[in-house]
Amino acid sequence: MTMAAPTTDDGEDLSAELAAALRAGPFDRALDLAIRRRGLSLEAVQRRVALRGATVSQATLSYWRRGGRRPDGDRSLRAVRALEDSLGLPRTALERLISPTRHRVAEDTAAGLASALDLTTAAIESCDGIDLAGNTRLALMSLHQHVHIGADRTEQRVRTEVVATARVNGVDRWVCFFHPQDGDGHHPTLRTTECCSPARVRTDPESELLAVELRFDYPLRAGDTYVYAYEIGYDGPPPPTDYAQYGLRTPARQLLIQVSFDREQPPVRCYRYYKSPSGLSSNDTELPLGPSMTTHIAVPDAPPGVHGIRWEWD
């Protein structure tokens, strides 16, 4: 289900920009946009807060608004709650952005890496030195995986494009995990990148898992968005395959998996599937395959787990 945009007490929809800030933060940006939307001076905001039984100085409001300081303590929390009411925001809209537990939510709700990626614990342990929790510091706005299947029914290349928002300050990397279906001597390799560059690279010879730490062009602040892409190919012959999937550790606002087949060797049928972190699988649903020989699944508010497309050759 798609979440509706927050509304003011007057029933008016908040601007898309403010709605996004209230969902992903940071606190200072959400507060600044809320004040600007009301067209209020800091003096007027201070008066409104005082009318609701809380106190906050204009200097403190300015610090909060510019990110120079964050609300801390019971007195500040009362002021934040009064701000929400004063600015016509939903209850806890600002408070949840400063809660000490907020940044633990991604860790607490993230599916375990092994179940999310359909891997063994041994394969994950081969990623020594790579920050396995790093990806949970980003909120996925959009992830598009495009898999190209050749006339010989092999996985030629996989391109992934991502739009993400930093949950905390200082985020500067993303770890790409890639695991081929056929573990018979097929070695995946990073071919190209956009707006990121490879740092640490780890491989597991037994499972042929590839893990690449992709470094962004610059560190992000909480609430910043970043767009990047990478493509995986193979050293040597690519493996035959009859599925394409992506494992999510945390939810994604929009997940798109697209598979393109060679016109001379199309599959007979294509199906979508989903496996939850607990191991429960959804029933297969048949997908259309048109003259372009491309099929896809688009999943809004995609939950953690393995989302994929499988097909039958004959």
* Domain definitions of the chain by residue range: 16-100, 109-312
pLDDT of residue 170 exceeding 90, the answer is no
Compute the mean pLDDT over every residue in the chain, rounded to the nearest whole number: 84
Who has greater pLDDT, 114 or 91? 91
> What is the model's pLDDT at position 12?
46
> What is the model's pLDDT at position 16?
79
Structure tokens at 10: 């007057």
Across 120-124, 199-203, 217-221, which has the greatest mean pLDDT? Answer: 217-221
pLDDT of residue 110 exceeding 60, the answer is no
Which of these ranges, 64-68, 100-104, 119-123, 187-191, has the smallest mean pLDDT? 100-104
Q: Note whether 111 and 304 are within 8 A (CB).
A: yes
**pLDDT tier at 13, thresholds 50, 70, 90:** very low
Q: How far is Cα 182 from Cα 162, in angstroms, rounded to an integer?
A: 26
Q: How far is Cα 79 from Cα 54, in angstroms, rounded to an integer?
A: 5
Share of the chain above pLDDT 90, in %: 48
> What is the model's pLDDT at position 2?
34
Across 85-99, 194-208, 266-280, 293-307, which has the greatest mean pLDDT? Answer: 293-307
Q: How far is Cα 113 from Cα 108, in angstroms, rounded to an integer?
A: 12
Q: Average pLDDT of 57-86? A: 85
Q: How far is Cα 182 from Cα 313, in angstroms, rounded to an integer?
A: 16
pLDDT of residue 232 exceeding 90, the answer is yes
Q: How far is Cα 86 from Cα 161, in angstroms, rounded to an integer?
A: 40
**pLDDT tier at 99, thresholds 50, 70, 90:** low
Determine the Cα angle at 189 with ends 138 and 264, to 5°. 105
Task: Count CA atoms closer than 13 A to 259's CA, side-chain side.
Answer: 28
pLDDT of residue 23 exceeding 70, the answer is yes
Nearest to 245, CA basis, from 296, 201, 187, 301: 296
pLDDT of residue 126 exceeding 90, the answer is no
Q: How far is Cα 220 from Cα 139, in angstroms, rounded to an integer?
A: 12
> What is the model's pLDDT at position 183?
58
Give CA torsion, residues 120, 124, 125, 130, to 10 deg: 180
> What is the model's pLDDT at position 103?
39
Look at residue 93 and give its three-state secondary structure. Answer: coil
Structure tokens at 11: 């029933």
Report the amino acid identity of residue 45.
V
> What is the model's pLDDT at position 66?
83
- In this chain, the answer to whether the domains covering 16-100 and 109-312 adopt an identical fold is no
**pLDDT tier at 114, thresholds 50, 70, 90:** low
> What is the model's pLDDT at position 93?
84
pLDDT digits (tens, 9 = 90+) for 147-160: 999 999 999 999 99
pLDDT of residue 173 exceeding 50, the answer is yes
From the number of C-beta atoms within 10 Å of its C-beta (0-12, 13-18, 19+), residue 6 rates as middle
> What is the model's pLDDT at position 8?
40
> What is the model's pLDDT at position 299?
95
Enter the pTM of the model: 0.64
Which contacts (CB < 8 Å, 24+ apart) does range 192-199 have? 192/230, 192/231, 193/228, 193/229, 193/230, 193/231, 194/228, 194/229, 194/230, 195/226, 195/227, 195/228, 195/229, 196/228, 196/229, 196/230, 199/173
CATH class, 16-100 region:
mainly alpha
Q: Going by CATH, does the domain composed of 109-312 fall within 3.40.462?
A: no
Nearest to 93, CA basis, from 39, 164, 20, 44: 20
pLDDT of residue 14 exceeding 60, the answer is no
